[in-house]
Amino acid sequence: MIFGVIFGILLLGAVFAGWYVFSLQAYKKDSLQVMNSAHLAFLLTIFHVVATVSIAGIVVKNTSWYVLFMISAVILGAVVATFRKTFQQNLMSLNFALPKGRLLMIGIWLFVILQVFALGRGILAPPNVFDSQVYHLPISINWFQDGEIKLFDDVPVGRFNYATKAPKMLNYWFLAFSQGSIHFVELSQYFGLILLMLSVYGILRNMKASKQWAVWGALLAAFIPIVVIETHTLQDHMLLTAIHFAVVKLLLDFVDMKFKSDRWGIMMMSLGLGLLLAAKFSAPAHVVAIFGVFGLLYIKDIFRLLKVKNIPAMIGGVALIALVGGTWYILNVLNYGSIFGPPQPQSEKEAILLTNIMQVPKRFFESAHRYTPDLVNISGYGPFAVTVGLLGSLFAVVRYFKNRKVVGIVLSTVLLQVLYFSVYLTPYNYRLLIFMPVGLIIVGIYYISQSKTSFLQSSVKGLALLSMVFVLFTTLQTDYFRQPFRAWQNYFMSYAEDQTIVRLDYTTDKYRRDNSFLFIDQFVPRPEPILYITQHEYGYDDLVIAGYYDNDLQREAIWGGHISDSAYVTSNGEGTEELVAYMRNRNISYLHNNIVFFYNNPVELQPGEEFIELTENLFYLPDQL
Amino acid sequence: MKRLDSLLLILILVLTGYYYYQNVDKIIYTRDVILQGVEQSKSESGIVRVEIFENGVVRERKSFVKEVVKNSEERNMLFMEIPEDIPVQALIDGRMVVEVNGRSVIGALQSDNVVLFEDVDMALYIINGDYKNTVAKLIE
């Protein structure tokens, strides 16, 4: 298992190396070529994983690790073969030397300590955030157990179908190479974290900030509390933000004519756009904000593209966007008649823009709640972004109002925030708004880096370290456990095979109200499949699905439909004639009533006399005598 | 420019002070979790593995973390909590057979919510509901 994960990571290293050499061909030779190419190569690595998993799951219909390996080997082989004469020489151009500075070194060590905690937590504990258990993880589990990716299926949670799948494909890489271990799946968050840091670094270098300040910017982005928290979840907001800023960087490279030709620029920006659209179904708002603002600011450069010789690249770019990102929206139109899937009850509210704006001060200063993955009524932006970042950005807009890059980043960030504020209001909506603190950090750091006042620069470095220590300390415990230390102690002291999703989480609201999941986790043999019937309020299909699975995904959970339209249970909970026949034919002995978070009088199952009630909501069908 | 930067620094310091003032509770919360952990780590605890059978089907091996207390006779008292909807009666009436460390043990219903499994050097109490108060009473 662990060797499989190491193999998967080494393969990613080889993939990155291959795409790095490829990326060198995209950029002109200058002092930033190596950095620009490394950034592009990492974006291409993400694309490579998404493409490999898509080909394996949708085309080959075999999602085994060795199929992923073979597809990767073919793609990588083609890249190496193309550049075989200069491969080694080009690869050696990668330079990881860090700029000097005592305070910066302290910052880097704090980052290492932070990652030891985050990585350790991510690997030792299974995914325990609610959304991860509702759909992020179960989607990848379905692919693992089915051995293929179905583009539309009968599923208990609508998001299995209408969510964009790129983040799940990154999760799947680690699920496949660990051969189904849920302990390594959260490593996929490092795709987002590394890309985010590279993008912030790249944008700051593009804006002519020094190497040292660019590293500060990258570190501070990694120390945004919600970024820290999301490194040990399966949430997709960090990846969305990372690709957002990767696209901004590619755009800045394009307008600065860093690419060897417009055609390279068009194709690479199209790739970035496709990945952005595939990251989350709110991504179209990001596209509007980035291209709306930068398109106006750089209108001449857009017209530069309108040449006959660029037409093939533009057609290829559109095809790339449609294939990588558009696919998920086209599927939604075909399946639901809307690019975003079925209507979202959470977005049907009035005057939410004003309410959201009124909440900004309270949210930014974060006093309402402690840090959790849900960020209840707080922003999760942390101290640096809302102090130095915010004020630095305001001063930057005043001092550098003619600098289109500064104005572009600020305006696109504000516009995007307004777009989200106009359609979405919940206590938890700031998880989607990670782009704001990242934008504030980039522009704030840019202002400080251009300052000639050394006491300002030194003070900001000191405040940066203070904020890092604060975030490191306050994000140590971000769960909902009633007795956090006891919960962790119990979990780590249990045997490895018992360190399951439910085991870690059973004192939280997800499982405390309904002990049947704990019963399943502890008493139902792992190879035994479970048939489950679901109940939920209309529009809120937030059903905990991951709770059925053990550490190695041996157990199969089969959905028997929603109680209102199930073939196996009537709407008043009685088993139909088909129920017993179906279970006996499929050798299923367990029937479960999945009602987690359904508060309004869920129907009790009464499957029939053949069944023994093991515990509330769980029934056992003995073998026929 | 220096004046503008000085103004910026003053504003940053004011805002930073305000931010940390507003967020002292986050530091206190984390400190309390750590202190609570130090306190809890002083108390002895252990694991017992149990195999449960029902209706001829072998259930998964379990591990329950619980407290271990030595009584006046130097005998270990082990306390285990089970989900409230597993009836303790089922543990003794043959529907569920409990094995501790590979040996079958026979339990006796001690009260409505406690089953006692006795061995030479230990007494394992399986408690269903009201865990804290029940343990306190048993230790007394």
Question: Which pLDDT band holds residue A412 (cuts at 50, 70, 90)?
Answer: very high
Set of chain A residues whose Cβ sits within 8 Å of the Cβ of B12: 387-388, 391-392, 459-460, 463
Q: Does A105 touch chain B (CB under 8 A)?
A: no
Beta-strand pair B97-100/B103-105: antiparallel
Those of residues 384-443 in A touching chain B at CB distance below 8 A are 386-388, 390-392, 395, 399
Mean pLDDT of A283-292: 95
The secondary structure of residue A548, as a DSSP letter, is: G
- Residue at A492: amino acid letter: F
ipTM: 0.90
Set of chain A residues whose Cβ sits within 8 Å of the Cβ of B9: 455-456, 459
pLDDT of residue B121: 63
Across the beta sheet with A618-620, the strand order is A557-562, A530-534, A590-594, A618-620, A612-615
Question: Which pLDDT band holds residue B60 (cuts at 50, 70, 90)?
Answer: very low
Beta bridge partners of B51: B61, B99
Preferred mutation among B40, B65, B89, B95 to probe A, highest tally of A CBs within 10 A:
B65
Question: Which pLDDT band holds residue B93 (cuts at 50, 70, 90)?
Answer: low
A559-595 pLDDT, tens digit per residue, is 999 998 899 999 899 999 899 999 999 999 999 999 8
A128-181 pLDDT, tens digit per residue, is 898 999 999 999 999 999 999 999 988 999 899 999 999 999 999 999 999 999
Question: Which pLDDT band holds residue A367 (cuts at 50, 70, 90)?
Answer: confident
Beta-strand pair A530-534/A590-594: parallel
Handedness of CA A440, A441, A446, A447 (dihedral sign): positive
What proportions of chain B, in percent to the nearest 5, are helix, strand and coil? 40, 40, 25
Mean pLDDT of A330-357: 81
**A6-15, A330-339, B122-131: which is most confident:** A6-15
Q: Residue A376 is encoded by which pair of tokens? A: 């209840």
Going from the C-alpha of A463 to that of each of A224, A229, A306, B9, B20, the distances in angstroms are: 14, 21, 47, 11, 11
Mean residue pLDDT across chain A: 91
pLDDT of residue A584: 93
Mean pLDDT of A486-509: 79
Query: Tokens 């755009």 sit at which residue?
Result: A251
Q: Which residue of A has its CA nearest to B87?
A: A615
Whole-number Å distance between alpha carbons of B114 and B129: 9
- For chain A, the straight-line distance linking the first and the last C-alpha, in angstroms and rounded, comes to 40
Beta carbons of A301 and A255 less than 8 angstroms apart:
yes
Whole-number Å distance between alpha carbons of A467 and A383: 6
pLDDT of residue A588: 93
Beta bridge partners of A590: A530, A620
Query: Tokens 């379990």 sit at which residue?
Result: B62
Q: Residue A416 is encoded by which pair of tokens? A: 């995007």
Mean pLDDT of B100-105: 53
**A326-335, B74-83, B92-101: which is most confident:** A326-335
Set of chain B residues whose Cβ sits within 8 Å of the Cβ of A455: 9
Beta-strand pair B122-127/B76-81: parallel
Q: Do A367 and B4 touch (CB under 8 A)?
A: no
Q: Residue A201 is encoded by which pair of tokens? A: 């670094």
CB atoms within 10 A of CB A175: 25
Beta carbons of A274 and A324 less than 8 angstroms apart:
yes
Q: Do B25 and A367 touch (CB under 8 A)?
A: yes
Going from the C-alpha of A217 to that of each of A196, A223, A387, the distances in angstroms are: 11, 10, 14
